[in-house]
Structure 1
């Protein structure tokens, strides 16, 4: 498997976490979003959407991190990243979607670039924009984690929800979003910091990191 990604991309980060949690061996190919490498002919041949991550496997290319994570769960079920019961699986997927659908897309690199280039936003305005979506999303996830978590977002072992949460906390800190109001989420973040799979997936430890 070869993971095409950008070291600071939240979607690539969550994919690395899942690969590491599954104990899978994979190579990495850096795609520097800042230089427009995602629009190169070579990468567009892999992913016509021109976005990361893209996972090369068995002669195929998988795109969109939710699809990649679901594929990993189906093809490498141990350790599981979804609960065994249907209601639990639905809850974890909902927690993941809260981040993947309602928070992350609004504070990724291309949105920040559009805010700067189209609307003349400075860094303070970009930070405020990110906080506008991260803060209420985290408030909802805090309540769900307090209800369902036993050390992690759901239950006592990492799930897909944690794969999504940790990169979003990393992004929140980059945008200077206050996090003191979310003790349950910060507890998960501390626990993840002590877990070898999450540590290996951290942006600073990637071969293409600055």
Structure 2
């Protein structure tokens, strides 16, 4: 059996999602293509959820960006805050190494959030970018595709956006908080300015 830890959920198109998981035995990342109806089994039990460990028979890499799985997936447990912080710290890399390298995935700890950009509606989809520092180096205009994050901003009235941006910037920079990013490199896009983005945005 293969144990997959769900690290991020981002929407690829309406009601279809890219779920980035980590094989805790083989120590490798897998992206899964999950429809909205597939997050629960036929009895309504959750199968895929953030920080949940889901058992499958096998996770198999393919020629595409998505791996396939065999066997009926079953969510067996969740990792708590302390376990996730330990996991992130054990497997993190430097933002510089990811953005200037060729890895497909990266886990990065953020030193500070410099700016949360105003969300923009583009091609009928909300997009949003952030600036941050990691390893004392600034990284700007990084696209944030975390599903929960974008759904939050969809529900913020326009008149409240600047106020909420200021509140979130203060909250995320609290010295008692740790912010981690799950990063993805879409290698089919040749332009290095646009083929790496945030798929998971976690404050613990």
Using structure 2 for the length normalisation, give the TM-score.
0.31
- Where is the helix percentage greater, Structure 1 or Structure 2? 1
- Where is the strand percentage greater, Structure 1 or Structure 2? 2
Larger relative contact order (CA 8 Å, sep ≥ 6): 1
